[in-house]
A and B are shown apart, each in its own frame.
Chain A
Amino acid sequence: MRNYIIRRLMLLVPIMLGVSFLTFAMFRIIPGDAAVLTCGFGCTEEVVEDLRHDRGLDRPWYEQYGDWVWGVVQGDFGESLTESDLPVSTGLERRLPVTAEILIMAMILSLVLGVPPGVLSAIRPGTPLDFIARVASVLWLSIPSFWLGILVITFGLAWFGWTPPQFGLGYVPFFDDPWVNLQQFFFPSLVLALAIAAAIMRLTRSSMLEVLRNDYIRTAWSKGLRERTVVTRHALKNALIPVVTIVGLQVGALIGGAVLVERVFALNGVGFWVVESVIRRDIFVVMSLTLIFAIVYVVANLLVDIAYGWLDPRIRYA
């Protein structure tokens, strides 16, 4: 088991190098670099040259990339090219908590909104409850998060007096005032969670239906166990195995969704930053952020594989 984890983590290295180099290569292809863009209107060729020299953009590409990688190995992500020498790590300290909170809350909400209705609609198929759950899941799956977010802001303002954090009080960190913080983050996370909740609900339902037809479930019933025991102990535990997989796979979608949701609600998180940085060609910020996204994605998938073995003891890791 330990060897398996180590080998999987070793695979991270080529992926990390690949992701960062791909980003670097893409941005080095374009002629206009961050220097030209920060310089703004009416700036002369000399100023641009100065800026370029100042930021080290006139060095050969392998030196720039090599230096950055060497820095990352030592825990230094380099500096932003456009935000007046802001170290990337400082920016991360400020913005990562916002994104992490949205992602975690969205994950929890999607499980809460996905698993129980999925189970209910599987054990009571054909009832109005089942129908409502399935209609809801198809709707949630189809409504794009950014549109829903805009509707929440537009109508939430009019109907509930709710405003996104950036417009009203300003962002309140969780540990300063958890209640206010949760209020601020509820709608962004909900909007992000719905599509994933729908996927989870559909999968839970079909997987439950399949499991409930097994012989051991009939045995459990005929032993005279209560419904609750049959459903939770015998069926749900087995039905959740494919659900765990989809949750892991959705981490990538969640990160992509966070980019959009942060944009909609003007939350100053990592997703917002990556869009800004791509536009401003802030290479090292984009490289650092895609690197972090890739690590999160790979580690999430690794956790899924480990959880798989834990849920289904028949699976062995060679």
Chain B
Amino acid sequence: MAREVAVPLELEEARIERPPLGRRLFNLARQHPLGVFGLFTVGLLFFAGIFAETPVSIFGVNLSVAPYDPQAIDREALLKGPSLSHPFGTDRLGRDVLSRTIFGARISLMIGMVSIFFGVTIGTFLGVISGYFGRFVDSLIQRSVDVFLAFPAIVLMLAIVTVIGDEDSAARRFLAEDTPVPEGSFLGVPFFLDIFILSLAIGVAVIASVARVTRGAVLSIKENVYIEAARALGASDARIMRHHIFPNVVALVVVLASITLPLAILAEAAISFLAIGVPAPTPSWGADLTGQNRETALSGSWWPVFFPGLALSLVVLGFNMLGDAFRDISDPRLRGALGSGGGRGL
């Protein structure tokens, strides 16, 4: 009896059990319905992108999501409106718009991932170096970043695509011959090299802003006492950057990458829309908004331009909502500010 009385109050409180994980997730989902919508949309993008067309079959059933070959021309069904056999209709060449839209997810995802990987890696590297060394290195990198930021991103990307993408360009030949990047068809995507070059161009536009943000973070991290301690122990610059600074910016870099991914997807669509990006027969949400599809839209057949653009908008919307919900959950200060206002998820 006496021993129970002696239990400190805090311990008593600590015994209140947290609800099981499933329940917690359910509550979280109920509080952030729009975040769930975002998660669902982004999940759908990945699902459609990965399983758009696959050679894998289970029990004789092929696992492809796209009902038709996105490039197959069907002379029997030219420019048919949405129907049961073609839910999104067909375009002027009789290609199934649904299949093209699903396949476009794969192109978007591929370009988004490659460009983010490329841009964020190099951007972080430059940002860490720039912030850590300061002085001359810093000015050199930051002035170059200024120049890149003063370019409208779209013009920069267009120029790079035209320059590297040119048939005679040395960079293109180098990529084709001396690197493992496949030149022709890869993962069901024709002209993979062109798509890869497009990703590089988008990645270059990503580098500048990532480098700028990372540098800012590094500037404050390097003032910490543990950095001084490491230096006092005789650690080299490279070791300090790798083991003491980099781990502290990783979280920021991951957030940056997730914010930039939808922007990269939009950039791909924009460049392809200008008819410079993804080459013609390959389904791409941006490229499908131009050329013949636009002409047919003007004469009343709206579906070939409507659905790819809708998919693009939904994906960006999903990423935005997911990001908002994530920010609400992770930043308690903001939650307080928006709490009573019902700032949930939006």
Query: Which residues in A have some Cβ–Cβ distance to B below 8 Å?
Result: 11, 14-15, 18-19, 22-23, 26-27, 29-32, 122, 125-126, 130-131, 134-135, 138-139, 141-144, 146-147, 150-151, 153-155, 157-158, 206, 209-210, 213, 252, 255-256, 259-260, 263, 274-275, 278-279, 281, 286, 289-290, 293-294, 297-298
CB distance from A159 to the nearest CB of B (A): 12
CA distance A122 to B340 in the complex (A): 11
| Among all A-B residue pairs, the 5 with the closest Cβ atoms | A125-B341, A147-B309, A18-B147, A142-B317, A294-B150
**What A residues does B269 contact at CB under 8 A?**
144, 146
In the complex, the answer to whether B297 meets A150 with C-beta atoms within 8 Å is yes
In the complex, the answer to whether B147 meets A19 with C-beta atoms within 8 Å is yes
In the complex, the answer to whether B163 meets A26 with C-beta atoms within 8 Å is yes
With known contacts A144-B270, A144-B316, A18–B146 Cβ distance under 8 A: yes
CA distance A141 to B166 in the complex (A): 34
**What B residues does A27 contact at CB under 8 A?**
159, 163
Q: What are 11 inter-chain pairs, A to B, with CB distance below 8 A?
A: A32-B168, A122-B341, A130-B341, A134-B346, A142-B316, A143-B316, A151-B306, A154-B298, A260-B154, A260-B270, A290-B152
In the complex, the answer to whether B274 meets A147 with C-beta atoms within 8 Å is no
Say whether B202 faces chain A, with CB atoms less than 8 Å apart.
Answer: no
Say whether B320 faces chain A, with CB atoms less than 8 Å apart.
Answer: yes
CA distance A131 to B346 in the complex (A): 9
**What B residues does A259 contact at CB under 8 A?**
152, 154-155, 274
Say whether B338 faces chain A, with CB atoms less than 8 Å apart.
Answer: yes
**What B residues does A286 contact at CB under 8 A?**
155, 159
CB distance from A273 to the nearest CB of B (A): 11
Say whether B305 faces chain A, with CB atoms less than 8 Å apart.
Answer: yes
CA distance A130 to B340 in the complex (A): 12
Q: A139-B317, A286-B155 are in contact. List 9 more A-B contacts (CB 8 A).
A: A26-B159, A143-B316, A146-B289, A151-B309, A209-B337, A256-B152, A260-B274, A263-B273, A297-B149
Say whether B175 faces chain A, with CB atoms less than 8 Å apart.
Answer: no
CA distance A32 to B166 in the complex (A): 8
**What A residues does B168 contact at CB under 8 A?**
30-32
CB distance from A168 to the nearest CB of B (A): 13
CA distance A298 to B149 in the complex (A): 10
In chain B between 27 and 41, which residues have their CB closer than 8 angstroms to a CB of chain A?
34
CB distance from B332 to the nearest CB of A (A): 15
In the complex, the answer to whether A256 meets B309 with C-beta atoms within 8 Å is no
In the complex, the answer to whether B312 meets A209 with C-beta atoms within 8 Å is no
Say whether B300 faces chain A, with CB atoms less than 8 Å apart.
Answer: yes
**What A residues does B68 contact at CB under 8 A?**
none
In the complex, the answer to whether B297 meets A154 with C-beta atoms within 8 Å is yes
In the complex, the answer to whether A157 meets B342 with C-beta atoms within 8 Å is no
In the complex, the answer to whether B147 meets A22 with C-beta atoms within 8 Å is yes
Q: Which residue of A lies closest to B341 (CB)?
A: A125
Number of interface residues, chain B, beta carbon within 8 A: 55
In the complex, the answer to whether A252 meets B159 with C-beta atoms within 8 Å is no
**What A residues does B248 contact at CB under 8 A?**
none
User: Secondary structure of the B side of the interface?
Assistant: helix
CB distance from A244 to the nearest CB of B (A): 19
CA distance A256 to B300 in the complex (A): 29
**What A residues does B313 contact at CB under 8 A?**
142-144, 147
CA distance A63 to B6 in the complex (A): 90
Q: Which residue of B lies closest to A122 (CB)?
A: B341
In the complex, the answer to whether A23 meets B159 with C-beta atoms within 8 Å is yes
With known contacts A19-B147, A138-B321, A294-B151, A126–B158 Cβ distance under 8 A: no
User: Secondary structure of the A side of the interface?
Assistant: helix
Q: Which residue of B lies closest to A12 (CB)?
A: B150
**What A residues does B167 contact at CB under 8 A?**
32
Interface string of B270-288 (1 = CB under 8 A from A): 1001101000000000100
In the complex, the answer to whether B149 meets A157 with C-beta atoms within 8 Å is no
In the complex, the answer to whether A18 meets B143 with C-beta atoms within 8 Å is yes
**What A residues does B316 contact at CB under 8 A?**
141-144
In the complex, the answer to whether A126 meets B342 with C-beta atoms within 8 Å is yes
In the complex, the answer to whether B338 meets A209 with C-beta atoms within 8 Å is yes
Say whether B121 faces chain A, with CB atoms less than 8 Å apart.
Answer: no
In the complex, the answer to whether A146 meets B273 with C-beta atoms within 8 Å is yes
Say whether B246 faces chain A, with CB atoms less than 8 Å apart.
Answer: no
**What B residues does A255 contact at CB under 8 A?**
152
In the complex, the answer to whether B309 meets A144 with C-beta atoms within 8 Å is yes
**What B residues does A131 contact at CB under 8 A?**
342, 346
In the complex, the answer to whether B309 meets A150 with C-beta atoms within 8 Å is yes
In chain B between 167 and 183, which residues have their CB closer than 8 angstroms to a CB of chain A?
167-171
**What A residues does B169 contact at CB under 8 A?**
29-31
CA distance A252 to B208 in the complex (A): 14
With known contacts A19-B147, A144-B309, A275-B274, A281–B155 Cβ distance under 8 A: no
Interface string of B84-104 (1 = CB under 8 A from A): 000000000000000000000
**What A residues does B300 contact at CB under 8 A?**
158
Selected from A139, A150, A256, the residue in CB contact (under 8 A) with B289 is A150
**What A residues does B153 contact at CB under 8 A?**
252, 256
In the complex, the answer to whether A278 meets B317 with C-beta atoms within 8 Å is no
**What B residues does A125 contact at CB under 8 A?**
338, 340-343
CA distance A150 to B39 in the complex (A): 28
Residue of B147, B266, B342 ringed by the most chain A CB atoms within 10 A: B147
In the complex, the answer to whether B159 meets A278 with C-beta atoms within 8 Å is yes
CB distance from A291 to the nearest CB of B (A): 9
**What A residues does B155 contact at CB under 8 A?**
256, 259, 274, 278, 286, 289-290, 293
CA distance A82 to B169 in the complex (A): 21
CA distance A155 to B309 in the complex (A): 15
